[in-house]
């Protein structure tokens, strides 16, 4: 008995010394540029990041978060094509995509762990996650986040919600309020302490407003990078990885003066953000999320390509945001 509990204690100590990683998967983990995004394509695409994550799980504890933009877009389009008089609000669609994408990541992870022969000792779970936002967030007065299908001008004029002209046509815009706290942070921390791989905060989380002890869903979307930074701080992760469809961050991006950045201090990152190097809706929130995490924790964040997650964790790829060493 004593020997057994000592063994269990030793195993627990081993778990507690494994660093905790939070890996935020961008949209390209599921759908690549130019694809329509069939389920077969999404499963095939997931193999690249998920194999690396399975490998990392040997010596790290892991939290996986993910985007859901195109998946919510598909659901919105399906609702419009077949209106049976039951319109599902955005909070429900976000919940649906957490289930859908959680399932896809889980089953891909299952195979990847099996290939490594560590399937039995590696539990994982996906968790529906709510994220609290402030009902007085200025974002509710001026919705800016385009979602769902593209409309022409005459369709747009008849829509019952705010729309905005984008480069691709008219689209519905919704509020994108700042995440305040992840409702399930304690559950996630407990699962991590037991070395579960936790898939959570999908699509930035189901946005809710707190009313005393109760929560009510709202029609909004939360940026998944900003929600991931909140979660990383609330759970106390050691390294925050943002995986996307470029190798990292550059200045003068897309011009002939483009220069890749291996390393950025939070102060430099803020300065470049103010200079407009990182646009809202793409690189901007990634930099903001990395800076928020690094400033509050004193730890590292790295923005990297989906193919270089492992290399980035080992400090060999991506743009690292970290306080400059004294
Ligand atoms: P994700 O789905 O991973 O969140 P996003 O499209 O939101 O991806 O953000 C990644 C995109 O940011 C890249 O494809 C790139 O085109 C764009 N981007 C904008 N500014 C920069 C920059 N300064 N450096 C690198 N990429 C940038
Ligand atoms: Mg994005």
pLDDT, tens only, 311-322:
999 999 999 999
Asked if pLDDT for residue 1 goes beyond 60, the answer is no
Per-residue pLDDT tens over the stretch 187-226: 999 999 999 999 999 999 999 999 888 999 999 999 999 9
Residues 266 and 188 both lie in one domain: no
264 and 122 within one domain: no
Closest ligand to Cα 258: 1
Q: What is the pLDDT of residue 3?
A: 65
Identify the bridge partners of residue 198 per DSSP, sorted by sequence position: 63, 125
Helix 69-81, helix 90-116: angle, nearest 10 = 130
Proportion of the chain above pLDDT 70, given as a percent: 97
What is the Å distance from ligand 2's center to 113 Cα? 28
Q: Would you state the pLDDT for residue 49?
A: 98
Residues pairing with 179 in the sheet: none
Query: Which residue among 219, 237, 255 closes a domain?
Result: 237
Interacting residues of 197 by C-beta distance below 8 A, sequence separation 6+? 53, 57, 61, 62, 63, 64, 109, 122, 123, 124, 125
Q: What is the pLDDT of residue 325?
A: 63
- Does 83 share its domain with 44? yes
In ligand 1, which atom is closest to the CA atom of 27?
A: 2
Q: Is the pLDDT of residue 83 over 80?
A: no
18 is catalytic: no
Whether residue 296 lies inside any domain: the answer is: yes
89 CB-near residues (< 8 Å, 6+ apart):
217, 219
Residue 284: the pLDDT is: 97
In this predicted structure, the answer to whether residue 184 has a pLDDT above a threshold of 80 is yes
Please determine, for residue 326, whether its predicted confidence score (pLDDT) is greater than 60: no
Of ligand 1's atoms, which has the minimum distance to the CA of residue 28? Answer: 2
Question: Residues 108, 216: one domain?
Answer: yes
Task: Tell me the pLDDT of the chain averaged across its residues.
Answer: 94
pLDDT-based confidence at residue 306 (cuts at 50, 70, 90): very high
Query: Is 14 among the domain residues?
Result: no
Q: Is residue 72 within 8 Å of residue 229, measured between CB atoms?
A: no
| Residue 174 pLDDT > 80 | yes
**Which domain CATH number covers 103?**
3.40.1160.10
Would 230 be classed as within a structural domain?
yes
Same domain, 48 and 94: yes
In terms of domains, do 122 and 223 share one? yes
Task: Report the pLDDT averaged over residues 3-12.
Answer: 70
Give the pLDDT of residue 258. 97
> What does the pLDDT average to over 245-262?
97
The confidence band for 81, taking pLDDT boundaries of 50, 70 and 90, is confident
Rounded to 10 deg, the angle between the 283-297 and 224-235 helix axes is 10
CA distance 70 to 319: 26
The single residue listed with the structure tokens 């402030």 is: 134
Ligand 1, CB cutoff 6 Å, lining residues = 26-28, 67, 244-246, 249-250, 253, 277-279, 282-283
Q: Are residues 296 and 201 in the same domain?
A: no
The C-alpha atoms of residue 182 and residue 192 are separated, in whole angstroms, by: 15
Does residue 4 sit within a domain?
Answer: no
- Residues of the chain with pLDDT > 90, as a percent, come to 82
Residue 43 lies in a domain: yes
Q: Same domain, yes or no, for 189 and 320?
A: no
Strands (E), 114-224: 124-126, 130-133, 145-151, 163-166, 169-174, 181-182, 197-199, 206-211, 214-217
Asked if residue 83 lies in contact with residue 211, where contact means CB atoms within 8 angstroms, the answer is no
Same structural domain, 37 and 88:
yes
Find the radius of gyration of the CA atoms of the chain: 20
63 and 115 together in one domain: yes
* Residue 8 domain-assigned (yes or no): no
Say if 217 falls within a structural domain: yes
67 & 209 share domain: yes
Distance between CA atoms of 113 and 142, rounded to whole angstroms? 45
Question: Tokens standing for 61?
Answer: 């504890």
* Rounded distance between C-alpha atoms, residue 23 and residue 46, angstroms: 13
Whose Cα sits closest to atom 1 in ligand 1?
26
pLDDT-derived band of residue 149, with 50, 70 and 90 as boundaries?
confident
Atom 18 of ligand 1, residue of closest alpha carbon: 283
* 282 in the same domain as 214: no
Q: 196: CA distance to ligand 1 center in Å?
A: 30
The yes-or-no verdict on residue 70 having pLDDT over 80 is: yes
Among 192, 214, 237, the domain boundary falls at 237
The candidate with the shortest Cα–Cα distance to 56, out of 29, 24, 27, 21, is 21
Split at pLDDT 50, 70, 90, the class of 85 is confident
- Residue 89 CA to ligand 1 center (angstroms) comes to 28
Which residue has a Cα nearest atom 6 of ligand 1?
282
Q: What's the confidence (pLDDT) of residue 13?
A: 73
> Among 109-123, 245-259, 280-294, where is mean pLDDT lowest?
109-123
Note whether 65 and 86 are within 8 A (CB).
Answer: no
Question: If you average pLDDT over residues 278-305, what whole number do you get?
Answer: 97
Q: Tell if the pTM clears 0.75, that is, is over it.
A: yes
Q: Which ligand is nearest to the CA of 305?
A: 1
| Distance between Cα 279 and ligand 1 center (Å) | 8
Task: State the residue range of the domain holding 33.
Answer: 19-132+183-237
Of residues 212 and 268, more confidence is placed in 268
pLDDT at 299: 97
249-251/259-261 β-pairing: antiparallel
Active site residue 27: yes
Residue 240 φ then ψ, to 5°: -110, 115
Residue 147 within any structural domain of the chain: no
Tally of domains within the chain: 2
Is 33 a residue of the active site?
Answer: no
| Whether residue 136 lies in the annotated active site | no
Question: Among the three residues 214, 237, 260, which one is the final residue of a domain in this structure?
Answer: 237
Provide the CA 263 distance to its chain's centre, in angstroms: 22
């Amino acid at each position: 008995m004593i020997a057994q509990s000592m063994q269990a204690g030793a195993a627990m100590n081993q778990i507690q010394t494994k660093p905790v990683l939070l890996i935020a998967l961008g949209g390209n983990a599921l759908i690549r540029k130019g694809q329509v995004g069939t389920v077969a394509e999404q499963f095939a695409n997931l193999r690249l990041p998920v194999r690396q994550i399975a490998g990392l799980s040997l010596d790290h504890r892991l939290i996986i978060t993910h985007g859901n933009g195109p998946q919510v877009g598909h659901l919105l389009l399906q609702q419009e094509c077949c209106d049976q008089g039951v319109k599902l609000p955005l909070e429900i669609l976000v919940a649906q995509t957490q289930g859908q994408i959680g399932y896809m990541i889980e089953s891909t992870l299952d195979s990847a762990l099996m290939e490594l022969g560590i399937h039995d000792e590696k539990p994982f779970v996906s968790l529906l996650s709510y994220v609290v936002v402030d009902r007085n967030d200025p974002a509710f007065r001026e919705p800016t986040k385009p979602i769902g299908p593209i409309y022409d001008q005459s369709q747009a004029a008849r829509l019952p919600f705010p729309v905005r002209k984008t480069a691709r046509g008219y689209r519905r815009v919704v509020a994108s309020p700042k995440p305040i706290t992840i409702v399930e942070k304690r559950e996630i921390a407990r699962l991590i302490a037991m070395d579960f791989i936790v898939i959570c905060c999908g699509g930035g989380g189901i946005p809710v407003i707190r009313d005393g002890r109760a929560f009510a869903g709202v029609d909004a979307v939360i940026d998944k990078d900003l929600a991931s930074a909140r979660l990383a701080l609330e759970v106390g992760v050691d390294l925050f990885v943002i995986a996307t469809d470029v190798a990292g961050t550059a200045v003068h991006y897309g011009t002939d003066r483009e220069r890749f950045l291996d390393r950025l201090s939070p102060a430099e990152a803020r300065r470049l953000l103010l200079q407009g190097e990182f646009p809202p809706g793409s690189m901007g929130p990634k930099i903001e999320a990395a800076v928020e995490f690094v400033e509050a924790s004193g730890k590292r964040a790295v923005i990297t390509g989906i193919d270089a997650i492992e290399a980035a964790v080992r400090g060999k790829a991506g743009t690292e945001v970290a306080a400059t060493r004294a």
